Amino acid sequence: MKVSLFITCLCDTITPDVGKDTVQLLERFGCEVDFPVGQTCCGQPAYNSGYKSESAKAMKQMIKAFEPSEFVVGPSGSCVQMIKEYPKVLKDEPEWRERAGRLAEKTYELTQFLVDVLKIENVGSTFKGTATYHPSCHMTRLLGVKDAPRILLENVEGLNLIDLPLKEDCCGFGGTFAVKNSAISGEMVQEKAEHIGETKADYLIGGDMGCLMNMGGRLRRNKQEVKVLHIAQVLNSQ
């Protein structure tokens, strides 16, 4: 199966290791992976701030970059969800709307792709440790990927998964919200950090780099010794 990697801008610049794990994971299951270099950012920062025409420029670039691809897979629920919104955003430009629709249809979040398309529930990995999982908002509520990450994690050997209290509450990231409404966002991520602390887990696992950076940054500021991992890193661990 031919899979094009959608390595989000944060993943590309800040956590390239997550990208590498994504590549290895997909290759492990026989996917022929490529990385279209024309890809940039999904456009979400501008879109969610109200800059529709600016975000449309990013969207069109992404549509062009992935046009030849068969499947597009990215390690981020939020950015994948943004791509799913493209047809709606570009609804007034029929030609682009159609091209956006084709991209939206073939784009998957990593765990969604593994479980729904490749039909894999056990990736055969081993990871020793106690961890808690934060189901990020866009991945669960908007993209509707709720079970896939849980199923995959439950099948990782050696992993002791502890439920995170009020896990469905937003961590306070929200893209530019974290900067624009920094004070409120700070209170939200502080509450999240406290809940993470309550689990006494050594690791925090998530499927969205933005949220992980937010929670990780606050945990570090609080001097809480919890290691933050993207789900691809856990699934690719041997």
- Binding of residue 188 to another protein (CB under 8 A): yes
Which of 4, 6, 55, 66 is the binder for another protein (CB under 8 A)? 55
Which of 6, 43, 204, 231 is the binder for another protein (CB under 8 A)? 43
Q: At CA 77, angle to CA 74 and CA 78, rounded to 5?
A: 110
- Binding of residue 24 to another protein (CB under 8 A): no
Is the separation of the CB atoms in 48 and 69 below 8 Å?
no
Q: For residue 37, count other CB atoms closer than 10 A to its CB.
A: 7
- Binding of residue 194 to another protein (CB under 8 A): no
Question: CA separation (Å) from 205 to 114, 157, 231?
Answer: 17, 15, 6
State the minimum distance, in angstroms, from the CB of residue 155 to another protein.
27
Name which of 48 and 155 has its Cβ closer to another protein. 48
Structure tokens, 87: 């047809």
Is residue 194 classed exposed, middle or buried when 0-12, 13-18 and 19+ CB atoms within 10 A define those classes?
middle
For 139-163, b/e burial (b = at least 16 CB within 10 A) is bbebbebeebbeebbeebeebebbe
Which of 101, 129, 197, 217 is the binder for another protein (CB under 8 A)? 217
Which of 2, 27, 52, 158 is the binder for another protein (CB under 8 A)? 52
Residue 225's Cβ-side half-sphere holds a number of Cα atoms within 13 Å equal to 0
Q: Which of residues 144-183 bind another protein (CB under 8 A)?
A: 168-170, 172-175, 177-183
Q: Catalog residues that contact another protein under the rule CB under 8 A.
A: 7, 9, 11-16, 19-20, 23, 35, 37-41, 43, 45-55, 57-58, 60-61, 65, 137-138, 141-142, 168-170, 172-175, 177-189, 191, 213-214, 216-218, 220-221
